[in-house]
Structure 1
Amino acid sequence: MQRSAYGIRFKTAEKGVCLNMDSNQYTKEFNSPIGRMTMASDGENLTGVWMEGQKYFGATLGNHGPGASLPVFDLVEEWLELYFQGEQPGLVLPLAPQGNEFRKSIWSILCDIPYGEVITYGEIAKLVAQKMGRAAMSAQAVGGAVGHNPISIIIPCHRVVGSKGSLTGYAGGIERKIKLLQLERVNMEELYIPAKGTAL
């Protein structure tokens, strides 16, 4: 289990083990200032948060049903309410995103990006390469893992930008990414919307 400076408990399974896609999960909807969101849980941990219309919506969901009374959903709703009020939530959330070890390593790095700051795909690639003992890592490979983050906002993939500050590659859409960064009072002067096809 890893704890980030961001106040999130990131639960990791044993190597090579992840939640079975056929196992039961529970969902609950949450209305936010950026649209309806769907939360998912295995009954104890948060396994997903997706925005309506998001790319890869529910990709790790599997079998599911309503779980409105789950304590984890109450905690996540409180976290999101604080966040959308412009506060940095201090609540510790039990997260259990489903994915392979490479993706989980990227998501863990995302949890350590400070509130109100951004990092580039290239910078994350360098961090991963160092951890894996490699000379280099593809920013595109990192981008794929970031884009498949199943727990939007809470695992803050919106804080990842392209080279030279381009606002690219957000599964929830560029407009939402801009709103989230503005909410966190990020300095937007050095960020820009790239032309179609711009590299990471």
Structure 2
Amino acid sequence: MKFKTTSLHCTTIDSPLGPLLLAATDRGLAGAWFERQRHWPDTTGWSNDDAHPVLRQAAAQLGDYFAGRRAHFDLPLDLAHGTAFQQSVWQALLAIPRGQTTSYGALSAGVGKPAAVRAVGAAVGRNPISVIVPCHRVLGANGSLTGYAGGLERKSALLALEGAL
């Protein structure tokens, strides 16, 4: 993903599913990517900042999530780096409760684009904030685990952690 600004702060944290690169702007958390996942961002010009308040808050909340102590994230998010369509899909992902899943078709209908299942799937795949914007909760029409930029093993592990599998 190419961000419109290079003035991002970043840090890397450990998780049970591998290292996570976190990025924040002055407006909020702008990214969370598993190491070696598809759509890895160009980090040229980003500053490593382990003390950035949003990054520290995200790291703490993700730690609680992976330990089973957090069901919801309470973080300022900056999703402005996507298109208007992508942002609408990412906002819809935020409405999927922990422990529940939806299909790409249902998500497409939910954003008012029932015929745009492939476009919605592409937007889900470009979600820049893994785990927190829960793209892992979207399944194929038959309930199959399909498409996750972080890998199907991670998608399965996240859904199992949330009690959805």
Taking a change above 3 Å as real, the CA distance of residues 30 and 157 of structure 1, as seen in their structure-2 partners, is: same
Among 93, 97, 105, the alignment partner of 2:88 is 105
How far apart are 1:68 and its partner, in Å?
1.1
**1:157-191 deviation line (CA, Å, top 9, x unaligned):** 000001110100110000000000000011x3xxx
Q: Structure 1 regions of 5+ residues with no counterpart?
A: 1-19, 189-200
Q: Is the 8 A contact 1:21 1:62 kept in 2?
A: no
How far apart are 1:78 and its partner, in Å?
1.2
Q: Which structure is higher in strand share?
A: 1
**1:65-96 deviation line (CA, Å, top 9, x unaligned):** 11111111111011101110123344520000
Q: Is the 8 A contact 1:116 1:181 kept in 2?
A: yes
Letter in 2 for 1:124: L
Identity over the aligned pairs, expressed in percent? 38
Among 60, 72, 92, the alignment partner of 1:78 is 60
Taking a change above 3 Å as real, the CA distance of residues 147 and 90 of structure 1, as seen in their structure-2 partners, is: closer
Taking a change above 3 Å as real, the CA distance of residues 44 and 105 of structure 1, as seen in their structure-2 partners, is: closer
How far apart are 1:42 and its partner, in Å?
1.1
Off by >2 Å, runs of 4+ in structure 1? 87-91
TM-score, normalised with respect to structure 1 = 0.77
Corresponding position of 1:41: 24
Q: Distance between the aligned counterparts of 2:104 and 2:95, measured in 1?
A: 14
Larger Rg: 1
Corresponding position of 2:51: 69
SS at match of 1:48: strand
Corresponding position of 1:51: 34
TM-score, normalised with respect to structure 2 = 0.92
Q: Distance between the aligned counterparts of 2:73 and 2:146, measured in 1?
A: 29
**1:84-133 deviation line (CA, Å, top 9, x unaligned):** 0123344520000220100000000000000011000000111112xxxx
Q: Distance between the aligned counterparts of 2:98 and 2:58, measured in 1?
A: 17
Q: Distance between the aligned counterparts of 1:28 and 1:42, measured in 2?
A: 12
SS at match of 1:39: strand
